[in-house]
Structure 1
Amino acid sequence: MPDNVLVAFDGSPLSERALAYAIENFPDIPITAIYVINPIDSVIDVEGGGLPVAADWYDNAKDRATRIHTTATNLAAERDTELDTVTEVGKPARAIIEYADDHDIDQIVMGSHGRSGIDRTLLGSVAETVTRRARIPVTIIS
């Protein structure tokens, strides 16, 4: 049984399922939801469909992170669970693995993918990379 669980949470339906899985399967263990601001999103605007203004992308990304953390916290509260949230900046797979290594995380739970279509092709599979490179167990929810 793990002592600390990290859930990759990006607001997608699969990340919501991953969070629910972690809460249900690790009810008495501290859970942290991580959201990674990916600088590549300043070039590929995944939400707006166009190129963002460079000065605005980080502020917009921080606002999105806040909304995502609120969603995660509310989902956990509905299940009477407290949740820590953290935002990192960088390549998502690398940031998730580094956070786990640096914070004594011993279980990662994540959705099989958060994006689809061209974004997934261009950026690669975060879940696949985390699974291959993490030194701890990774549970993939699909």
Structure 2
Amino acid sequence: MVSRVLVGMDDSEMAAEALRYALDVHAGSDITVLTVVGVPSPMMGEATAIAMAEDPQAKAEEAAEPVLDRARELAAERDVDIDTIVGAGHPARTIVNRADEFDVVVLGSHGGSVSDRLVIGNVADTVFKRSPVPVTVVR
């Protein structure tokens, strides 16, 4: 039985679909949403701003707030409480590093912009290949 679910979420509609799926299919399980900020990019803007901040954790949480607010709204529509985690750095690596704390990982099949996917790589594919627990990819 699945009791702990990790949902990787960014600001994409596919990530929102992944959370909806987890809330519906794994109703009654503890659901944790992980969003990753400071993602490597060609200009390193967000990553640099977080790294250079006086309080990097507070800056990371500030950057993650819009995604986590949306996750909480989606959960509230189903009258479910969720936990949230903010990670920093490369999304696939961050998700895989946390995956063994959960029974399953749920991800959208793709997210972010085309340029982000070219620089970062396909997060779902990497997590699928490297996760120590089962991964559900939602389309």
TM-score for both structures, normalised by structure 1: 0.84
More moved, 60-69 vs 36-45: 36-45
- In structure 2, do the counterparts of structure 1 residues 54 and 63 end up closer, same or farther at CA, with 3 Å as the change threshold? same
Structure 1 residue 115: deviation in Å? 1.7
Structure 1 segment 1-142 matched on structure 2, within 5 A = 1-41=1-41, 43-45=43-45, 55=52, 61-101=60-100, 103=101, 105-142=102-139
**AA in 2 matched with 1:83:** I
Aligned-residue Cα RMSD (Å) equals: 2.3
Unaligned runs of 5+ in 1: none
Instruction: Determine the C-alpha separation between the residues in 2 that align with 1:95 and 1:126.
Output: 10
Q: Provide the rounded CA distance (Å) in 1 between the counterparts of 2:133 and 2:20.
A: 20
For 1:52 and 1:3, how far apart are their aligned partners in 2?
Answer: 36
Task: Report the 3-state secondary structure (helix = DSSP H, G, I; strand = E; otherwise coil) of the residue aligned with 1:120.
Answer: helix
The answer to whether the 8 Å contact 2:37/2:89 transfers is yes
**Structure 1 letter corresponding to 2:118:** T
The alpha-carbon deviation at position 44 of structure 1 amounts to 4.3
For 1:97, give the aligned amino acid: V
How many residues align structurally? 135
Q: Does the 8 Å contact 1:14/1:113 carry over to 2? A: yes
Q: Which residue identity is paired with 2:21?
A: Y
CA contact (8 A) 1:3 1:30 kept: yes
CA contact (8 A) 1:42 1:54 kept: no
Structure 2, unmatched stretches of 5+, are none
